[in-house]
Every structure is written in structure tokens, then in C-alpha cells.
Amino acid sequence: MNSLVVRVRILPESIEEDLEKLIVRIGEELKAVGTIVNYKIEPIAFGLSAIIADFKIEEKKGGTEPLEDKLKRVKGVSEIDVIAVSRAQVEL
């Protein structure tokens, strides 16, 4: 089965949220859906920063919905935005 890489912008509930701890929490809670391949913390404005994370998930019916649903339920996550979706690799 093919894999997808899904890039997501994750906004925390508050500016006081420790984003490094939040990314660890996200990784632990999303193990059943996918894995974090890469991430960076990007300043937005007025002390607010977002996490830009790449998740590797299996390509199957439902697309990115299972990942999005799980992310929205993680404590400390306010909003998510799927930025891009692409195939991780194509096997020959």
C-alpha cells in the first residue's frame, strides 16, 4: 500500500502552550493513524507560533480525515489546517 505525506499547520490553544511538549503528545496520540516525519515551529504574530508538521499515513479510503479527526482531539490543539498532501513514494 502507498503512503501519503500530509503537511499540517497546528495552532495551539494558547501562547503559553509548550510546543515541544505538544508535538510529543501529538506523536504519542497519533501512533495508530500515522507518524511525524518532520516538523518546525513557525512564528505567526504577537507571540503566537504554529507547528508545521509532516505526517506519514497509509493511503486508503477516507484520505486525511482520520488524521484530522485525531489531531483535533489532542489536548492543547486549537486549530489545524491541511496545507499539502503528496505521495511519499511510488513502488515499482
Q: What is the mean pLDDT of the chain?
A: 91
Q: pLDDT per residue over 53-89, tens digit each? A: 999 998 887 788 999 999 999 999 999 999 999 887 6
Give the Cα-Cα-Cα angle 77, 82, 87 (nearest 5 degrees). Answer: 130
Residue 51 has pLDDT above 80, yes or no: yes
Residue 53 gets the label, from left (phi > 0), alpha (psi -120 to 50) or beta, of beta
Strands (DSSP E) contained in 13-76 are 34-45, 48-58
Q: For position 79, what pLDDT does the model report? A: 95
pTM of this structure: 0.88
